Amino acid sequence: MQKDIWENEYRKQKLVSMSEEPQASVKDFLRWLRKGEEKSKPPRQPVSLENINVLDLGCGTGKNARHIAGLDAGNKITGIEISETALRYARERDLLNPEPSKQITYVHQSIGEQFPFIDTAFDLAFDVTSSNSLDEKERAVFLSETHRVLKPGAYLFVRALCKDADKNAQYLLKHNPGPEKDTYIMPDLGLTERVFSRDDFIQTYSGATIGKPLFTLLHLEKETHYSKVADRLYKRNFWVAYLQK
């Protein structure tokens, strides 16, 4: 069901953006990693973005993967994506910049299934508004698998849908409720999405909801953007989080 919805979405593009520009919050996170922080306790050392293995969870058409590949010739990026159509677009765009694209590998599957990677294979992972469409069973697999394949001390970037003070989220939860807690079904798309309160987000990514220690929260902020759905703009809130294994 979810696969069919995403296939249809990438064919008709009512929700997803086909822009090649990475989100500003992704670029901010990469700058944050490089900068380090002397005044933190303990001091946070700068992170090199060279010769790293990166996992892009729900990579879509590959814009973030291509951006990270372009930072250093030694970077290796693996993108997981459920939509064959999205991956076709990704590979077509890769051909326009073939050198860094040689550093990218795509895996066609849901991020809510067991990953085909060995333990501690990655230095960095991104979930850019992808896992919010998983159900709770899939999310538990997603969290456990993401934790498993990241190296000790590795970082995870998450951008997720925010419930707090979001009028559109509140409207959809009331008028188009989904089957699980804080989910709604997107009109005309049939896509079920999960929104998070601040406390729910922290509980989920800490591992409290599955009874397993997962990630330490280093940074959490709420961002407001306008999302375009079927040519209409909606004001939406998002959580942007930096986490560490």
Is the per-residue pLDDT at 21 higher than 70? yes
The rounded distance, in Å, linking the Cα atoms of 44 and 49 is 15
Q: Which of 43-47, 185-189, 191-195, 231-235 is predicted least confidently? A: 231-235
Is the per-residue pLDDT at 228 higher than 70? no
130 CB-near residues (< 8 Å, 6+ apart): 57, 58, 111
Closest to 61 measured CA to CA, from 14, 118, 22: 22
How confident is the model over 102-157, as pLDDT tens digits? 999 999 999 999 999 999 999 999 999 999 999 999 999 999 999 999 999 999 99
pLDDT of residue 98: 84
Cβ atoms 35, 43 nearer than 8 A: no
Cβ atoms 238, 160 nearer than 8 A: yes
Is the per-residue pLDDT at 231 higher than 70? no
Is the per-residue pLDDT at 233 higher than 80? no
- CB-CB neighbours of 168 under 10 Å: 16
Is the per-residue pLDDT at 37 higher than 90? no
pLDDT of residue 225: 83
The rounded distance, in Å, linking the Cα atoms of 89 and 63 is 10
Is the per-residue pLDDT at 230 higher than 60? no
For the chain, give the number of residues.
245
Sign of the alpha-carbon dihedral angle for 120, 121, 127, 130: negative
Q: What pTM does this model have?
A: 0.94
User: Percent helix, strand and coil across the chain, each rounded to 5?
Assistant: 35, 30, 35
Average pLDDT score over the chain: 93
pLDDT of residue 229: 60
